Amino acid sequence: MKFGGIGLVALAIALVLAVPASAADLLSQTVSAASAVDKSCTSGERSGAGVARRSFTMPAGGEVTARLTAASGDWDLAIVDPSDHRMVAGSAYSGASEVASGFAAVGNNLVVQACRRSGGSSTASLSLESIPIDASKAPTASLVRVATANLDRKNELQGLGLDLTEHGGAGFVEAVLYGPVDAQKLVDNNFAYTTEVPDLSVQSRQDRAADAQFAAANATSDFPSGRTTYRRLFDYSEDMKALVRDNPDLVRPITLNNKSYEGRTVEGIEIATNPSARDGRPVFLQLGVHHAREWPSGEHAMEWAYELVNGYRSGDARVRDLVSRTRTIVVPIVNPDGFNASREAGELYGNGGGHATDLNGDGEVDDVEFIAAASTHINEYRRKNCRFPFGPPAGNCMAQPDQGVVGGGVDPNRNYGAFWGGNGSSDTYVEQDYRGPGPFSEPESQNIRELASGRQITTLITNHTFSGLVLRPPGVAAQGTTVDEPIYKALGDSMAAENGYSSQYGYQLYDTTGTTEDWSYNATGGLGFTYEIGHLGFHPPFEVTVQEWEGTTDYATGGGNRAAYYKAQENTADGTKHSVLAGQALNGYVLRLTKTFDTPTSQDGLTVTDHLDSSMVVNDKKGAFEWHVNPSTRPLVAKSSGRDPTGDPSPPQQFESRGGTTPCADYDTPPPDCYEDHLIAVPSGAGIDNAKATFRIEFSPVSDWDMKIYKADAAGNATGEAVAVSGHGATDGNLGFEEASVLDPAGSYVVRVQNYAAVDPWTGTVTFEGPSPYQAPQQEAYTLSCETPQGVVKSARQVFVARGERLALELRKDCRR
């Protein structure tokens, strides 16, 4: 099968053309506010001593960004349209480093307001710029359902560089097509598809109109927060700030280490009784919005924080128990740049605004407005982050319409280190699953890596949309099931029993590498899951997202994601699902667990060095401590591999085409004149040990042959499902080839070579290999050091602790009473 037909030259030209006109600097000055204003800056127009206001007029339709920095305290920022009270953009981080970006039409008279919320800084520097958007070539985006008869066809589809959704199932994957070029790729590669949504912008308008009706009809929703509309980026900040302010005994703010490309802070909150203590409770991590357009994933992560806080305040026994025995970290928006671009584009369609066709509120639909709406619509379906190595410069993500295959950025959920660079990720900048220039090259994945390396996170959910899935490793079938499969599956199944989703391996959707839990599970041992929330799209009507939470969808079989998250939180608390260290040490001393190791990627010779470093402070008059930790041995080495050989591998066998086939009209049930079957017997007997058979056909790169391997029946005919398939049309220099392996081959096999689009013959070889040397399951240790409250290391020792084990530790004298 061929990869996508667009050459690199064409892509490079498209990229140059995609660079927008240069930015207009509208304002750059120091502003001051004599006193603090105790009112949100992002919920309306503000005035008075705590607010600095500046008016400006949009020189062209497009993107507008305000930035503010102050020396200290909390400042917030907003751009408002006084004529219709539209909140054009906002930024409400807990500090004084703000970035507010939105869209506005030419001639809009706007006000930027800087609000001093608290702290001693009475001045701040404020700048404002606008970038015009020429969206005259923005294509129509449509959602299609592509037939994929088997896993291999799914992976071939993955290779076409289309914008695949996470929505797939038995026999299909859904994809977003950006115009006829994308549709032609499906046709050229014999993929049948049906169109589900011909124009996603029409769908968006309908969905947002439904949201406006829902919000008008309901003062509150069944979400714990009661919200009735999708949050914008600044709403998340406002909500987290309010939770911290109103619940200092229960919630503390977290700022992740790395800012986004556009200079945004990435924030979260930690929820526990005594939230700031460094104790030994296990941690549950809730993540949302790695992918920009997946708005419900941030909503559900954020609502889990409200569920815990509200439940605790109302005296709910289950919540009180969990909040006292665990810690919960919520990072609702991992990718704030991408989310802001997507969410602000979607905002133009409504929540009742009707701005899609009338951006300046003049009551008319004119061309400029329509074009701006069409452009921002494309950004609404942005998936990736806002890395633009070829321009435009930082701050301009929203000014670059994300036009399918020419959309820039890195997929943060293909950028994690473990297995980075393998199947199900692209090395090409413009593709939707572009993995980035190197493992952990992106601030988004690096933030989560650093967070998870410094804490004992025993359970993790990374939320996405959509497909109704609870996914667990492995992301690639060849990795084999994990050493923790029984408890992993049991937890996945029990969560799926609540939300009605399908509990399955990651690769059953399609191959992926470099994902969050690829790394988090294999490096830390904490159980990580991907949720693909819902079935109705990346951000369906808000009411549906509430139903997913409550379990009132048609397919929910229990209490929805709310109930599923309780299962995850209870697993977090359950010491039999991770490990526990217990003992006595001097009160006030610090215990520290460290571990350094190399994590493999999918690229030969490339590894990333991981360093885990977590600590707790002993806080007990008698020095008793209990520390919930992940097992000391990584899952990757806890399993045995290989075996001792019982003989030698057999010599290679050759086979070759007989000629006379014609290209297959139907790939999945091919007519007999389009393929050849070749019978291969695997030698066996005394002195022979064939642990692996590798089938390979080679041909000139102008031809495209595909290969399937079947078990042979007694008559020498193919039987059952294919045991191995290769259909990628890979080339190695001037050679086309297909290659597939069978582990522990026995008996006879039929090699079926299908004529996909071939003009000349092929030659085939089967080679045999003996087993790889036996690798016993390994045990790895943490280094446990004991430090004085001032950080002086008194002693260090190795600690081995297995999953489910509660280990009583006898510490050295200088560390215990």
Contact set with Zn ion (CB under 5 A): 291, 294, 464
DSSP 452-519: HHSS-EEEEEEEEESSSEEEES-SSGGG---TTHHHHHHHHHHHHHHH--EEEEGGGT----S-HHHH
CB of 464 to Zn ion, least distance (A): 3
Torsion of CA 295, 340, 292, 161, to 10 degrees: 140
* Nearer Cβ to Zn ion (152/163): 163
**Nearest-approach distance from CB 749 to Zn ion, in angstroms:** 38
Give me the amino acid identity at 646. Answer: T
In contact, 448 and 460? CB cutoff 8 Å: no
Angle, CA of 254, 257 and 258, to the nearest 5°:
125
Residue nearer to Zn ion on the CB measure, 50 or 296? 296
Parallel/antiparallel/unpaired status of strands 163-169 and 86-91: unpaired
- Residue closer to Zn ion by CB (options 291, 343) is 291
State the minimum distance, in angstroms, from the CB of residue 537 to Zn ion: 12
**Which element (helix H / strand E) includes 807?**
strand 806-809
Query: Residues 581, 582, 583, 588: what is their CA dihedral angle, to the nearest 10 degrees?
Result: 80
Q: How far is the CB of 421 from Zn ion (least distance, A)?
A: 19
Question: Taking the complex as a whole, how short is the minimal distance between the CB of residue 463 and Zn ion, in angstroms?
Answer: 9
In terms of Cα–Cα distance, which of 375, 449, 379, 443 is closest to 408? 379
Question: What's the closest the beta carbon of residue 291 comes to Zn ion, in angstroms?
Answer: 4
By C-beta, is 165 or 584 nearer to Zn ion?
165
Residue type, 425: S
Smaller CB separation from Zn ion, 298 or 500:
298
SS3 label, residue 561 = helix
Residue in this structure with the two tokens 């929820």, named with its chain if needed: 271
Cβ atoms of residues 110 and 64 within 8 Å: yes
CB of 446 to Zn ion, least distance (A): 18
Closest approach of Zn ion to the CB of residue 470, in Å? 14
Residue with Cβ nearer Zn ion (463 or 754):
463
Closest CA to 469 of 506, 517, 501, 500: 501
Residue closer to Zn ion by CB (options 156, 294) is 294
For the bound state, the minimum distance from the C-beta of residue 219 to Zn ion, rounded and expressed in Å, comes to: 32
Question: Which residue lies nearer to Zn ion by CB, 435 or 634?
Answer: 435
Burial, 137: exposed, middle or buried (Cβ in 10 Å; 0-12, 13-18, 19+)? Answer: middle
CA distance 432 to 181: 15
CB of 413 to Zn ion, least distance (A): 6
> Is the Cβ of residue 326 or residue 465 nearer to Zn ion in the bound state?
465
Neighbours of 122 (CB within 10 A): 17
Residue among 20 and 475 whose Cβ is closer to Zn ion:
475
* Closest distance to Zn ion from the beta carbon of 415 (Å): 13
**φ/ψ of residue 462, rounded to 5:** -105, 115
Compare residues 535 and 728 and give the one whose CB is closer to Zn ion.
535
Q: How far is the CB of 516 from Zn ion (least distance, A)?
A: 10
Task: Name the residue nearer to Zn ion (CB basis): 251 or 287.
Answer: 287
Q: Which amino acid is at 78?
A: A
Contacts of 689 (CB under 8 A, 6+ apart): 645, 646, 647, 648, 649, 770, 771
Q: Of 286, 313, 310, nearest to 569 (Cα)? A: 286
| Nearest-approach distance from CB 503 to Zn ion, in angstroms | 18
Which residue number, 467 or 690, has a Cβ lying nearer to Zn ion?
467
One-letter amino acid at 772 equals S
What φ, ψ does residue 103 adopt, rounded to 5°?
Answer: -115, 145
Among residues 742, 746, 688, the alpha carbon closest in space to that of 712 is found at: 746
| Position with the least CB separation from Zn ion | 464
The secondary structure of 115-147 as a DSSP string is EEEESS--EEEEEEEEEE---TTPPPEEEEEEE
Query: What is the DSSP-derived secondary structure letter of residue 623?
Result: -
CB of 296 to Zn ion, least distance (A): 11
With H, G, I as helix, E, B as strand and everything else as coil, classify residue 734.
coil
Query: What does the alpha-carbon distance between residue 762 and residue 393 come to, in Å, rounded to a whole number?
Result: 49
**Start-to-end CA span in the chain (Å):** 69
Q: How far apart are CA 5 and CA 181, in angstroms?
A: 10
Shortest reach from residue 290's CB to Zn ion, in Å: 6
CB nearer to Zn ion: give 251 or 509: 509
Residue (294 or 444) nearer to Zn ion, CB:
294
